Amino acid sequence: MEAHQLLPAVRSRRVTPRVEILRSLVAMVAVACVAAASAQSPSSTQKDATPPIVPEYEAPPIVELTARTVRVYQAAEASQGVAVDTRHFYAVDNSVLAKYTIASGKLIDRWIGPRNGLIRHMNSCLADAGRLWCANSNYPETPMGSSIEVFDAATMKHAVSRSLGMRDEGSLTWFDRYGTGWIAGFSHYDANGGVPFKNHTFSSVVTFDSEWRRTGGWLLPASTLERMAPYASSGGAIGPDGWLYLLGHDRPEMYVVGRPPMGPALSHVATIALEAEGQAFSWAKTGRTIFAIDRRQRLVRSIEIPAVTPKPGSAKRFR
């Protein structure tokens, strides 16, 4: 076939300007249809453009309970708190520690330091592993300084001193074992012993490792701070059920708190009425019994603490 015979076929495949315009119009219509479909069917983001209704937070209910006094002891040194081991309790009074037998209430021995001396204001003690671990501060002096003073429980002789120096957290009032380290309460005060730029609401609970290096902490619940004012927690310890139990400065009630599900403040789960006017206390080595004091009458009381059952999910235990 001659080449000139192929020309009509080649010409038939060429795209005319009219066809090109038609194709462009079809494409524009398709784009418009897609845009219209998108406008009629908004995305999920567009559907949720209306601001959500945010409910107001409601604190979990606080359980109200009452403790029962089991036994009462006379102890002239029962001014700041009391510690207890398997056979003895130890009354604490600033610069004096007194050892009594639980069975008879008989005074066994004392350690006495000079008034306003190097150990000025022992707030509390923890009986553990044959020793008394005591929280000491320079209250009511400022700036606030604190130390841990350790005594041999058998001989009642001073053994070790560990200074925490001046801490922004405030004055050390109590501490307890927590994992391989410590959990401790620090207090600020509205008046005597306080500083003008931090009132009692700056008090807190702090965790440390075994070398007293800070690892975390929490604010105290507002519902407990308002009951402790113008002071803060003078006693604290983790109970056999894993909750943290706190006593204020003078009210005859105990506050049970737990770790919050989220946020920086402890959760207040229960309040327990009891015959103890605040200050430091100690859990007995077995059961649900604490030893606490009545500082005005210089008494030590053994008190049975009722079981605590918070609302599920309201707080987490410490152990």
The answer for residues whose C-beta is within 8 angstroms of residue 38's C-beta and 6 or more apart is none
- d(Cα 156, Cα 222) in Å, to the nearest integer? 39
**For the chain, how many residues are written?**
319
Predicted local confidence at residue 191, as pLDDT? 85
Structural domain contains residue 20? no
Q: Which residues contact 171 (CB under 8 A, 6 or more apart)?
A: 123, 137, 138, 139, 144, 146, 186, 187, 188, 189, 193
Is it the case that residue 142 has pLDDT exceeding 90?
A: yes
Strand ranges (E), 80-157: 81-84, 88-93, 96-101, 107-112, 121-128, 131-137, 145-152
**pLDDT tens across 56-104, in order?**
988 888 999 999 999 999 999 999 999 999 999 999 999 999 999 999 9
Domain-located, residue 145: yes
Q: Report the SS3 class of residue 173.
A: strand
- CA 159, CA 90: separation in Å to the nearest integer? 16
Nearest-angstrom CA–CA distance, 157 and 134:
13
282: in domain? yes
Closest listed residue to residue 211, CA positions, set 146, 162, 152, 173: 162
pLDDT in tens, 117-134: 999 999 999 999 999 999
pLDDT in tens, 276-306: 989 999 999 999 999 999 999 999 999 999 9
Residue 49's pLDDT band (boundaries 50, 70, 90)?
confident
> Cα(96)–Cα(76) distance, rounded to whole angstroms?
10
Write down the pLDDT at residue 21.
54
pLDDT tens digits, residue range 214-251? 999 999 999 999 999 999 999 999 999 999 999 999 99
Assigned domain for 132 exists: yes
Residue 310 has what DSSP assignment?
P
Domain-located, residue 287:
yes
| pLDDT higher at 23 or 190 | 190
Residue 22 within a domain: no
Range of the domain at 184: 63-304
Q: In which band, very low, low, confident or very high, does the pLDDT at 30 lie, cut at 50, 70 and 90?
A: low
Q: Helix or strand or coil: residue 94?
A: strand
Q: 170, 79, 166: which is closest to 125 by C-alpha?
A: 79
Check residue 8 and give its pLDDT. 46
Tokens of 245: 């139990």
pLDDT digits (tens, 9 = 90+) for 167-210: 999 999 999 999 999 999 999 999 889 999 999 999 999 999 99
Q: Token pair 């007293």 is at which residue?
A: 212
For residue 58 the two structure tokens come to: 């409601």
If one counts every other C-beta atom within 10 angstroms of the C-beta of residue 183, the result is 23
Confidence of residue 41 (pLDDT cuts 50, 70, 90): low
Check residue 5 and give its pLDDT: 47
Residue 21 maps to a domain: no
Report the alpha-carbon distance of residue 12 to residue 176 in Å, rounded: 97
Taking the C-alpha atoms of residue 126 and residue 162, their distance in angstroms, rounded to an integer, is 15
Decide if pLDDT at 32 tops 60. Answer: no
pLDDT of 28 above 70: no
CATH code, domain carrying 267: 2.120.10.30
Which pLDDT score is estimated for 46? 58
Q: Regarding predicted confidence, which is higher, 209 or 39?
A: 209
User: What is the count of structural domains for the chain?
Assistant: 1
Residue 58 in domain: no
Mean pLDDT confidence for 106-111:
98
